[in-house]
Amino acid sequence: MATRQVIVAAATVESQKVNRRRRQSKSPLMGLLLPAILLLLWWLGAVTGVLDVAFFSTPSAVLRTLGNLIFSGALIFDFWSSLQRILTGAAIGFGAGLVLGGITGYVRQVERVLDPTIQALRAVPAIAWIPFLILTLGIDNAPKIALIAIAIFFITYVNTFSGVRSVDQKLIELAQAYRLSRSLVLRHVIMPAALPQIFVGLRLAAAIGWIAAVFSEILVGNNGLGELLNDGRSQGRPDQTIALMIVLALAGKCSDNLIRLLERHSTPWRATFEGV
């Protein structure tokens, strides 16, 4: 029987590997299909005059502008400015959301005290914080970082909280039956169980981080991608705004991919449906 089980288990592992390989080898090309079609339609539209180039520009103009922005160093500088803000804001917001969401999820008493206030504050749209942040923190980096941190905090808080609360009661009971210490329960039962949901939060947080950064830079911009976008608008340059939208799309996709990669590496034990 043991031999049979070894073979069966090996076969399972093997089939999972094959599945993964199949998915990995095909998906990048498949994913590029739709952008290629859109690009083609855009180009055709511009060439035939269906799309007004004054508003929609052309693929070649956008590519040229993108090249200019890169080689002049402007894009690198502003990209780095935005990225720094996002990373700083994310570190603050994600860290605070993780700690508070974790504690509130774990300790009912803390939930009763903190959660109503946090939920009420969460109802305030992130955008509505901007006037207050400008009044209190000025128009430099601080209000932008604060906005990113606030937006990310609430998403992380909610997801960490529900991650902690989603721990299987049977596993908690198991820990009680074996008299496991609180630190063991936290490290080996609750935290790993909450991890998948925390990753959901992190992916949403990354997306909202870019949104908050660009939005605050468009409103009060000294530098950053939002400022470049604003320039494009005020100078009537659709090629520049489209080029920056492409940069943002790529940056968002890259950060999401990074998080998914991290997720796959930190939760290799998951046995959930991965799609057909």
Partner 1 sequence: MGTTLIFEHVSKGFPGCGPVLDNFGVTVPSGSFVSLVGPTACGKSTLLRLILGLDQPDAGQIRFEGDGAGRADVCAIAFQEPRLLPWLTVHDNVGLVLDRRSGDCAGRIKALLDLVGLAEFRDAFPKVLSGGMAQRASLARALANEPDVLLLDEPFSAVDALTRMRLQDALIRIYMARPQTTIMVTHDIDEALFTSQQVIVLSTRPAHIVDIVDVKAGYPRDRTDSNLFSMKARILRGLGVVALDHQDGDGI
Q: State which of residues 7, 9, 38, 76 lies at the interface with partner 1 (CB under 8 A).
A: 9
| C-alpha 89: how far from chain center | 13
By CB under 8 A, name the one of 92, 114, 193, 246 that touches partner 1.
Answer: 193
Structure tokens at 212: 């908050």
Q: Does 273 bind partner 1 (CB under 8 A)?
A: no
Q: How far is the CB of 248 from partner 1 (least distance, A)?
A: 35
Nearer of residues 197 and 255 to partner 1, judged by Cβ? 197
Residue numbers 161-190 binding partner 1 by CB under 8 A: 170-171, 173-174, 176-180, 184, 188-189
Is residue 5 a contact residue for partner 1 (CB under 8 A)? yes
Asked whether position 262 contacts partner 1 by CB under 8 A, the answer is: no
Per-residue H/E/C for the chain: CHHHHHHHHHHHHHHHHHHHHHHHHHHHHHHHHHHHHHHHHHHHHHHHCCCCHHHHCCHHHHHHHHHHHHHHCHHHHHHHHHHHHHHHHHHHHHHHHHHHHHHHHHCHHHHHHHHHHHHHHHCCCHHHHHHHHHHHHCCCHHHHHHHHHHHHHHHHHHHHHHHHHCCCHHHHHHHHHCCCCHHHHHHHHHHHHHHHHHHHHHHHHHHHHHHHHHHHHHHCCCCCHHHHHHHHHHCCCHHHHHHHHHHHHHHHHHHHHHHHHHHHHHCCCCCCCCCC
- Nearest to partner 1 of 33, 177 (CB atom): 177
Q: Are 136 and 174 in contact (CB under 8 A)?
A: no
Query: Interface mask (CB under 8 A) for partner 1, residues 10-39, using x and -?
Result: --xx--------------------------
Residue from the set 45, 59, 192, 252 that interacts with partner 1 by CB under 8 A: 192
- What is the closest distance, in whole angstroms, from the C-beta atom of residue 166 to partner 1 in the complex? 13
Minimum separation from the CB atom of position 274 to partner 1 (A): 12
Interaction between residue 265 and partner 1 (CB under 8 A)? no
- Min dist. Cβ of residue 163 to partner 1 (A): 13
Closest distance of CB 183 from partner 1, Å: 12
Contacts with partner 1 by CB under 8 A lie at 1-2, 5-6, 8-9, 12-13, 170-171, 173-174, 176-180, 184, 188-189, 192-193, 195, 267-271
